[in-house]
Amino acid sequence: MPSATGEPGASEPMRAWKFLDVGRIAPFGGHVWPAPSGSAPGAWIRFPGREVFACRIDDLPWWIAPELWEVELERPLRALETQVAAPAGRLLRRVTSWDEPALRAYGDACAERARTLAVDALEREGRAGDAESLRAPRSMLELCRAARALAVDAAERTSSNLAGYAAESAMRAAEGVAAASANITANAAIIASGDPAAFHRERTWQSRWIAERCGLAPLAALAV
């Protein structure tokens, strides 16, 4: 069976990334991944008749969770739209730069992107004063309040609709739910541009933000 790189018969393990809940708990399966010990990897995780899943860098925004780990995957790999699947996997190291401050900063950065989309739309529609009022807030809660005040006629004006998206993205960021903030902003990008592909462009920006913040090197072997 071909690998994710298209190399038939490749059998060496490959590396990827995986988000887990606190305590190395799989967010969906609920199982605990064995921890590495010193320089030794954790024990292999495998399930009869099931695969384990991990991320390329571009997949990261889809699976945000409190812990980020570098993992090793057993071949053959199966490339999916937003993740890769393998017969087995094991933890190699915790990405310690992905911590609570990083998670909150990611949510804030996504909400700021939504703010920019709304401000640009307000200016295009000749609402310079409203645009300035949306630039002014310093905190996510203040941004949420200011944006909600501009979203009362969201059904009638694109700029007001985008203000509503900015309000919701800022609220989720303030709550610490960065994954929701990111998803809302990616959807706002479609509204702003009228182009469905804008969603994926925003996801690409988000994945690059995480990679730069955490110092993640691209794992070329997982590129598809």
Q: Give the pLDDT confidence score for residue 2 in this predicted structure.
A: 39
Same domain, residue pair 148 and 117: yes
Distance linking the first and last C-alpha atoms of the chain: 15
Same domain, residue pair 110 and 170: yes
Same domain, residue pair 179 and 218: no
DSSP 36-51: PBTTBPPPPEEBTTB-
Angle between helices 178-193 and 158-175 (to 10 degrees): 170
Token representation of residue 139: 């905190």
What is the domain range of residue 40?
Answer: 14-96+214-222
Instruction: Look up tokens 């640009």; give the residue.
Output: 120
Degrees to nearest 5, angle at CA 78 with 74 and 80: 135
Task: Tell me how far apart the alpha carbons of residues 37 and 52 are, in angstroms, rounded to a whole number.
Answer: 21
Is there a contact between 151 and 161 (Cβ–Cβ < 8 Å)? Answer: yes
What is the pTM (predicted TM-score) of this model? 0.90
Same domain, residue pair 36 and 61: yes
In a domain, 198, yes or no: no
| Nearest CA among 70, 76, 93 for reference residue 12 | 76
In a domain, 66, yes or no: yes
Q: Report how many domains make up the chain.
A: 2
In a domain, 105, yes or no: yes
Q: Give the pLDDT confidence score for residue 219 in this predicted structure.
A: 64
Token representation of residue 136: 């002014």
Same domain, residue pair 105 and 84: no
Q: Give the pLDDT confidence score for residue 39 in this predicted structure.
A: 87
In a domain, 199, yes or no: no
Same domain, residue pair 188 and 119: yes
In a domain, 169, yes or no: yes
> What does each of the 224 residues of the chain score in pLDDT, given as a tens digit?
333 334 434 467 799 999 999 999 999 889 999 999 988 999 999 999 899 999 999 999 999 999 999 999 999 999 999 999 999 999 999 999 999 999 999 999 999 999 999 999 999 999 999 999 999 999 999 999 999 999 999 889 999 999 999 999 999 999 999 999 999 999 999 999 999 999 999 999 999 999 999 999 876 545 44
Same domain, residue pair 136 and 65: no
Q: Give the pLDDT confidence score for residue 29 in this predicted structure.
A: 87
Same domain, residue pair 54 and 77: yes
In a domain, 200, yes or no: no
Is there a contact between 84 and 21 (Cβ–Cβ < 8 Å)? Answer: no
Degrees to nearest 5, angle at CA 83 with 171 and 182: 15
Q: Give the pLDDT confidence score for residue 12 in this predicted structure.
A: 73
Is there a contact between 182 and 110 (Cβ–Cβ < 8 Å)? Answer: yes
Same domain, residue pair 133 and 52: no
In a domain, 176, yes or no: yes
In a domain, 119, yes or no: yes
